[in-house]
Copies of this chain bind each other. A is one copy, B any other.
């Protein structure tokens, strides 16, 4: 599988991807799932891919040459699009092109046409934008209320994003949060693994040098991994264990006034629940 996250903040964008690919558990490989498109002073775009690797790679390959026509019949590509919306349309078109070419053969082989993409960046003349693109080539855009998108094995790492990320979160802090989210995912799911690719993009820069490949020997990641695990455990230990009655605590687990009664026990075969 895969885990990728893209975050849109007032201060910029953060992208993080793992690089484990598996077909079953006995065919595990490393493929990096991020591409950075940059033309300095003009546009900066990042693409994250999850799903069937042959589809992802085909989309990445043809995206470079894929075209849509504008109303005057002029070709639009990701390199001349005037908006990220148009660039996302070109990406959606590339997905549909691969669908037309491969979907039937895949279906005959019992394989679903399965791809999901996160695509974000900034083109000179407008603000930053972040999209999630589906297998049908349709897409949605991140908003103030939903400032991040995840693809792949997203559930393990979602709670910490929900607790931390808002549009006001600073860039480095959001990168830290994405890494913690990735760390939780890698702890609980073997199909997500290193190395990680991380990009930070500052608004209105139209380029970035904050691009790093993080392996398990990376000093910052090691610190984060061990400190987060250890401090999480300290916090957990610092919380009071449940006390069943209210004689010794202000926060008892059982309260006589509770609305919902504890479950009735069944103690004979003929006894009914209701």
Contact = CB atoms under 8 A, between A and B. Distances in A.
Given A156-B158, A163-B229, A236-B180, A219 B259 contact: no
Nearest to A222: B251
Nearest to A44: B265
Nearest to A219: B251
Contact of A253 (B159, B220, B260): B220
Contacts of A249: 220
A104 interface: no
Most buried by B among A160, A164, A261, A263: A263
B269 A65 contact: yes
A266 B38 contact: yes
A35 interface: yes
Contacts of A189: 155
Contacts of A102: none
Interface of A: 32, 34-40, 60, 64-65, 77, 79, 153, 155-156, 158-160, 162-164, 170, 172-173, 175-177, 179-180, 184-185, 187-189, 195, 197-199, 210-215, 217-224, 227-229, 231-236, 238-244, 249-255, 258-271, 273
B220 A242 contact: yes
Contact of A163 (B221, B222, B232): B232
A212 B254 contact: yes
A177 to B, nearest CB: 7
Nearest to A207: B265
15 contacts: A34-B263, A39-B267, A155-B156, A155-B189, A162-B187, A172-B241, A175-B241, A176-B241, A195-B260, A212-B254, A220-B240, A221-B253, A223-B239, A231-B235, A231-B238
Contacts of A212: 244, 253-254, 258, 262
Given A176-B241, A242-B176, A218 B156 contact: no
